Amino acid sequence: MGYGIASTYFWKFFQFKASMERAYRLPSDNELFGDENAEVGNASLVAENSMNYNLGFTINKEFKNSDSFYFDVNGYLRNTDDFIKREILVRTGTLTSVNFGSTRNLGVDAEARYYFRNKAMIGGTFTMMHLYDNEQYRGYEGTVLNSHYKDRMPNIPYQFGSLDAAYYIHNIGKKESGNVLNLDYNLNYVGQFYLNWESLGSSTNKYDLPTQLSHDFSATYIMKGGKYNFSFEVKNITNEELADNFGMLKPGRAFYGKIRVYFMQRRKHQHHNQQ
């Protein structure tokens, strides 16, 4: 929700873009009312409001051999008041959300993909940002010096990304059958980040979460033009120790299987031109 202004310019296979906006983010249902489990609601939350500036460009290039390349990068600056921040309630160990005074976020998002005809794809995304406490004075009258001023906001990753690759095998079993086997690999990366204010503790004794890397693989077999789908997936293949933004451990290696059948077919509409 909000308003803004945007401009874009196309040149050959380049697109340049810039925008400025005033944005408002309303609290979610879980943030307001909780989930009756691990998150306690806070009905007094107000909407975040931010002034955002964006600048970026996109490359979308198709080659004669039907290969294509896509690249997009966007830099941004976001000045936010009443930032909605998740915290742990020490007494109960549950999560809740609170409005935090003022933050500033300077960052960049990037995505790149290369498509090899209709046989394979490789790509990835990467985000790097600097989200920090931008409120110099706190307290009811705004006269108390904020000891966390310019500290990065805790419990938020500042570098994260993914690398994914896919290979498509067409017409398995019988030529022109239309059956397709999709093989997908995904690498997930989350850089080290602090679980508390970075100014707390000594340089050798910080409460942080180390860099996390994990690998996923999936295979999907599609038959009869998509009527039958059989999929198998392995999450966290190497059984790495992974945690969420508050240091709570996630499940280790996991296997999933799914069968999906469409019983209804789309009707083919015929268009008749009147003479």
CATH code for position 24 = 2.40.170.20
Task: Give pTM, 2 decimals.
Answer: 0.84
Mean pLDDT of 59-82: 95
Whether residue 270 lies inside any domain: the answer is no
Residue in the structure block whose two tokens are 């051999």:
65
Give the range of the structural domain holding residue 51, as residue numbers without chain letter.
2-261
Mean pLDDT of 162-187: 88
pLDDT averaged over every residue in the chain: 89
Mean pLDDT of 14-30: 95
Whether residue 134 lies inside any domain: the answer is yes
Whether residue 272 lies inside any domain: the answer is no
Q: What is the pLDDT of residue 8?
A: 96
Does residue 176 have a pLDDT over 80? no
Does residue 36 have a pLDDT over 80? no
Q: Cα torsion at 98, 102, 107, 110 (round to 10°)?
A: 40
Integer Cα distance of 255 and 232 in angstroms: 8
Whether residue 112 lies inside any domain: the answer is yes
Q: How confident is the model at residue 158 (pLDDT cuts 50, 70, 90)?
A: very high
Does residue 267 have a pLDDT over 70? no
Integer Cα distance of 255 and 241 in angstroms: 16
**140 vs 227, residue with greater confidence:** 227
Whether residue 266 lies inside any domain: the answer is no
Mean pLDDT of 227-234: 93
Whether residue 15 lies inside any domain: the answer is yes
Integer Cα distance of 207 and 193 in angstroms: 9
Number of domains in the chain: 1
194 CB burial (10 A radius; 0-12, 13-18, 19+): buried
Residue in the structure block whose two tokens are 């690999």:
185
Q: What is the pLDDT of residue 269?
A: 47
Q: What is the pLDDT of residue 239?
A: 96
Whether residue 166 lies inside any domain: the answer is yes
**139 vs 184, residue with greater confidence:** 184
Whether residue 274 lies inside any domain: the answer is no
